[in-house]
Every structure is written in structure tokens, then in C-alpha cells.
Chain A
Amino acid sequence: MGGHWREAGVKWLLAVSSSVCIIVVLVIFAFLFKEAAPFVRDPGVLDLLGARWTPVSFIKQQFGIAPLVSGSVVVTLLATLLAVPFGLCGAVYIAEIARPLEREILKPLVEILAAIPSVVLGFFGLVVVAPIVKYVFNLPTGLTGLTGALLLALMAIPTIVSISEDAIRSVPRSYREASLALGASDIQTVWRVTVPSAKSGIVAAVMLGMGRVIGETMAVLMVTGNAAVVTLSPFDSMRTMTATIAAEMGEVTYGSRHYQALFWVGILLLLATFILNVAAQRVLRNHQRA
């Protein structure tokens, strides 16, 4: 009889521990909204839609997040564009073409890239990449969106490689064998049969990579120049949402308008990564089902 109570008690305890996850997520959302809410009444959420971000001003504080959003979007899209060819190619090579010995070396190497802390990559970007970008493109300064995108691509590649590789590996052997039996070569099979079958897994990999990139802080803070301009040119300095929070959070007084505006930026970031991650998971689940 005591055993029965113990069993029930343990189950209850474990369930409660699991609910901590839910609680933490809810608290994060609730807390972010709570701190950002007063901004709605004064000066109003429409203020966020402006194109000037001047939170510190003698004339008028302006909290337009357009430059921050454009900065994040340009850097993320460029990084994804740079990372996908390399990541996909790498994944296909590791999954299909590399010899087992090669695979044993390549996979840990990619994991090493994933393990390098963002601040170390940012430091490397500041000292090595920025001067190269400046020299190659003849720019006034190497602190540009492009430099940030290069570093972020490095961070996205491991994610894309590992998840795409899983997706490619999970394509049934029968597909490959059928293709080879019909006379197609190895390479033709890989690129015309295997990879298209793994398409949704690869899409999910790219989305997860994007999610990681959009949330990156330290590397972009150190190398993008942090200029709050709305611009589409990666050769300009730009300011991402993440860098804004990191740079300005320390100076805001609890409860001030600037504080609330930063929480709105945080909410936007959270929503963007949330949507990307949930969509990616859904795509992954569909792929696994198929």
C-alpha cells in the first residue's frame, strides 16, 4: 500500500518538474509583456513603427524600430544565403560521398565550429575578418553588415549541416537503389533523388539555422558598426535588434520609456524565433512522417 503512494508521489513530483518548463516559458512571455505594456498607453505602439531610433535625445525620444528590424533582417538573410550552399553541400558530402574515415574527421570538426562561443567568433571577426572585408571591398570601414553576416553564416553552418545530414540519411535506401538500378550515377542519384526527397528536412534545417542567426548577439555587436539606419546594402554599418538590447539595456532606468521600448524589441525577437522554430519543427515532423 505504501508502495502505491510512493509511486503516485513520484509521478506527481516528476510531473511538477516537467511543468517548470511551461512555467518558465509563460513567465518569460508574461514578464516581457508586463514590462513592455505601459508603452502602449504612452507614447503608443505606433511609435515603434517609425524609422528613427533615437532613444536618447534632447529634442524628442524616438523609438522607431524599423532600422533595427532592417538590420536584423539584412544580416540574417545574407548570412542564410551564404550558409545554405556551404551547409547543404557539406551535409550532402558528409552523408553520401565521404568515406567513413573522412566522416569521422569531418563531423567532429563541424561540431567544433558549433561549440566556438559567439564572443570568440566576434573577436576573430573584429581582428581578422573586418580588416579583410575593408580591404577587399575598398570600404571606409570593415564594420559592416557583411562582416556580421559572414560570422553568422559560420554559426549557422553547423546547424544546417547536422540537421540536413540527418534528413538525407533518413531517405530510404530503396530510393537510392532504385535510381542506381535505373542506370543513374552516384552523383545524379544524390542530387536528383536523395536530396529532393530530403527537401523538407533540409528546409527545416535552414529555418532552424535562421532562428539561431536572428538571435545572435555578441558577434554582431562587435562587428556590424551599430548604426541605426534603414538600409539594404550590406556594405553599410547596421544595427540589429539583439545588439540594441545588449548595448542599451544597461543604461535604462527601470520603468522608463526606453526600458519598455527595449522590451518590445525583445518581444519581437522572441516572436520571430518562436515562429521560425515551431514552423521548422512542424516541417520536420511532416518529413519524418512521410
Chain B
Amino acid sequence: MRRALTDIAVRWLMRCVTYFIVLVIAYIVIDIVWNGAPALSWTFVTAMPKESGAAGGIFPAIVGTFCLILGAIVVALPLGTASAVYLSEYAKNGRFTRMIRLAIITLAGVPSIVFGLFGLGLFVLFFHFGASILAGSLTLACMVLPTIIVASEESLRAVPIYLREGSLALGAGKWQTIRKNVLPYAIPGMLTGSVLAIGRAAGETAPILLTVAAFYLPRLPRSVFDQCMALPYHLYVLATQYPDADKIRLMQYGTALVLIILVLGVNLVAVILRIHFRKKYKW
């Protein structure tokens, strides 16, 4: 009897603890949605900032974030998927492979501000790109590369081996086999991984702090050598750089909401893709 009671007590304790976490998450999201929703309007999302950000819209920040994500993906996606194909299909357990894997683990663990430091030193100053979308995108690309590689490799390995063996038995070359019999089935997983990487890159502030972000730039970027505004940096600036925080509380929450919608929206897309393709490809 005692045992049963302790068991029930423990079970309920665990339930409370777990749902406490849920409560906190819900509180954060609801707080931002509740306080930020009044700020959302067509003007807010499409207009340029006025009064150095205290009024108007955040359009350049949204566009800037998109530019940075695009730049990062353009660099990291080809490199990442190629590396994943190599690791999954060609690599033997030699020293080279172990070095690659160690490099991936290392890169995945590098703090975002160290990427920012590195990006500032190498791309902005050493290569003389200046604070630009180019520097920011390259820094973000370095950051998301491990995510893309790991997700892509996983989806490649999930393709059953008999698909490869059949093709090879029929006399096809290795690359031919991969191109026609493996990649098509792995692409969905790779896509999901890249989408998740995009979500991460969109929300990062530290890497873009000094490599690209501008406080006030009410013009859309015109080339990769321009600076741009970005949503995470804009939120940081709104939260810490305005004399009368209460007046712009609405703008702060609105920006936070847009950023959350963007990041969660991207993650939702990834989840939907994952579910859709899991249904489609049942081995």
C-alpha cells in the first residue's frame, strides 16, 4: 500500500515538474503574442523605420534577415550536403574521416560570439569585405554547416542499403547509384535539416553583431557589400538603446513577435516536411 502511494506521489511530482516547464514555455510565448499582436499591422511589417526605430515599421530588418539566411544557405547547403554524401557513401574509417567528424563536432560547439569574433577578424577586417552581407552570411554559413551535415548524413544513412546494392549489382557506377537511387530519397531529410539550420541562423545575434548589422538603415540592401538591418539585432537594440523604454514597448514586443513567428514558422515547415515525407517513404 505504501509502495503504491509513493508511486502515485512520484508520478504526480514528475507530472508537475514536466508541466511546469510547459507552463513556462507557454507563458513566454503567450506574453510575447499578447503584447506583440497589437503592434502587428501591414504598416509595421512593410514600412521603413521612423524616428530612429521608435515608430514606423521593421521592413528593412525583415528583408535583411532574409538576405542573410539566403546568403548563408547558398554557401552552406552545397558544402554541407556534399560533405554528408562523402561521409555517408564514400568515407572509410580512416584518419581523414575521423578528422572530419572531429571538425564537425568542434564546429557545432563553437559559441556564437566566437564565430562573431572570427567573422569580424577574418571577413570584415582581414579580407577587407567590411561590415557587409557577405561577411555576415559567410559567418552564419560556418555556424550552420555542422547542422546541415549531420541532418543530411542521417537522411542518407536512412536510405536502405539494398537500393544501393541493387543498382551496383546491375553495373552502375557509385556516383550514378547515389545520384539516381539514394539522393532522391534522402533529399527530403536534407531539406528538413537545412530548414532547421535556417531557423537557427535567423535568430542569431552574436555572429551578426559586428559583421553586418546596422542600427538604422532605412534603405534596402542593394548588394552583398552593403550593411543591412536584421531582426535579432533590431530587437536587441530596441530593448537596450532607447531612452523611454515604455514608449516603444509595443515596438519591442512587435519585433519579438515577428522574429518568433519567423523562427517557429520555419521550424513548423521542417516538421511538416518531416511528417509528409515519413508518410511517403515507408521502407
Interface positions of A (Cβ within 8 A of B): 3-4, 6-7, 10-11, 13-15, 17-22, 24-25, 27-28, 31-32, 35, 85-86, 89-90, 92-94, 97-98, 106, 108-113, 115-124, 126-128, 154, 157, 185-188, 191, 211, 214-218, 222, 242, 245-246, 249-250, 254, 262-263, 266, 269-270, 273-274, 276-278, 281
Task: Give 8 nearest A-B pairs by CB, closest first.
Answer: A215-B111, A117-B203, A17-B82, A277-B109, A14-B86, A18-B83, A21-B103, A89-B17
Contact B235 A123 (CB under 8 A): yes
Any A CB within 8 A of the CB of B79 = yes
Contact B105 A281 (CB under 8 A): yes
Q: Which residues of A contact B174 (CB under 8 A)?
A: 7, 11
A-B contact count (CB 8 A): 239
Q: Which residues of A contact B109 (CB under 8 A)?
A: 211, 215, 273-274, 276-277
A159 vs B175: C-alpha distance when bound (angstroms): 36
Contacts of A85 in B (CB 8 A): 17
Contact across chains for B210 and A7 when beta carbons are under 8 A apart? no
The answer to the question of B135 belonging to the interface, with a C-beta cut-off of 8 Å to chain A, is: no
A18 and B18 in contact (CB under 8 A), knowing A111-B267, A273-B111? Answer: no
Cα of A35 to Cα of B112 in the assembled complex, Å: 18
Q: Within 8 Å CB of B102, what residues of A?
A: 278
Which stretch from B7-15, B37-45, B47-55, B182-190 is at the chain A interface? Answer: B7-15
**Residue with the greatest number of chain A CB neighbours at <10 A, chosen from B125, B205, B263:** B205
Query: Shortest Cβ distance from B15 into chain A, in angstroms?
Result: 7
Give the docked Cα–Cα distance between A277 and B106 (Å): 7
B151: min CB distance to chain A, Å: 14
B235 with A120: CB separation less than 8 A: yes
CA separation between A252 and B41, bound complex, in Å? 40
Instruction: Please report the C-alpha to C-alpha distance between residue A97 and residue B8 in the assembled complex, in whole angstroms.
Output: 12
Interface residues of A, dominant DSSP: helix
User: Would you call the interface of chain B mostly helix, strand, loop, or mixed?
Assistant: helix
Q: Which of A13, A28, A117, A154 contacts B232 (CB 8 A)?
A: A117
Which of the segments B26-34, B158-166, B220-228 contacts the partner chain? Answer: B26-34
Contact across chains for B106 and A274 when beta carbons are under 8 A apart? yes
Asked, given contacts A14-B86, A35-B121, A120-B260, whether A93 binds B15 with beta carbons under 8 Å apart, the answer is yes
Kindly list chain A residues whose C-beta atoms are within 8 Å of the C-beta of B173.
Answer: 3-4, 6-7
Contacts of A120 in B (CB 8 A): 32, 203, 235, 256, 259-260
Complex CA distance for A97 and B10, rounded to whole angstroms: 11
CA distance A218 to B199 in the complex (A): 17
